[in-house]
Amino acid sequence: MKEKEMIDLVKRYFNGVDNEDIAAVSATLTDDCVFTVETHGVRLQGSEEIKGMFMRLWDNHASVRHQEFVYVPAPKDDRIAVRFAVVNTHHDGSQTHKSNCNFFEIRDGRFVRVAVYMAGENTLNTA
C-alpha cells in the first residue's frame, strides 16, 4: 500500500469515528483486528468487541473529534503511526482535550492491529 493510500485509510477510520458511523469504522478493520489501548491495559479482538467499545464511546459523549494529524507512514512494513489531538465533548457541554498516538498495522488494505497510546483518562472504556 502506498503512503497516500495509508493516510486515506486513517482518514476514513477517524471520519467514521467522529461521525459515529460504525459501518465506516468497521470497513477499515479486518474481522480479526486486535485493538489495544496500551496505556490502560485494554485488549479487544474482533469486530464485535471493537464495535461495543465504539458504541460506549459515543453513548458516553456528545461528540468526539480528532484533529491536527501528523502521519508517519511506513509502506514497506504495512504500518502507519499517527499523532493527533482529541476533543471529547461531554453531555454537560464540558470538554476533555487529549494528545494521542495510534499505531496501525495493515493487511489487505485494512487495519489488522490498532495500538492506542492515550494521554489521561481512558475514554475508550471497555465496561
CATH code, domain with 86 = 3.10.450.50
What CA–CA distance (Å, rounded) separates 98 from 88? Answer: 8
Tally of CB atoms within 10 A around 74: 14
**Residue 126's pLDDT is what?**
53
- Do the domain assignments include residue 127? no
Low-confidence stretches of the chain (pLDDT < 50) are none
Reported as type and span, the H/E element at residue 40 is none
Query: What contacts 13, CB < 8 A, 6 or more positions away?
Result: 24, 25, 28, 29, 104, 111
pTM above 0.85, yes or no: yes
What CA–CA distance (Å, rounded) separates 86 from 22? Answer: 18
- Do the domain assignments include residue 44? yes
3-state class of 67 per DSSP?
strand
**What total number of domains does the chain contain?**
1
Mean pLDDT of the chain: 94
- Do the domain assignments include residue 94? yes
Domain coverage including residue 60: 3-118
- Do the domain assignments include residue 125? no
**Residue 87's pLDDT is what?**
95
Q: Phi, psi (5° rounding) for residue 86?
A: -125, 135
- Do the domain assignments include residue 16? yes
- Do the domain assignments include residue 36? yes
- Do the domain assignments include residue 126? no
**Residue 10's pLDDT is what?**
98
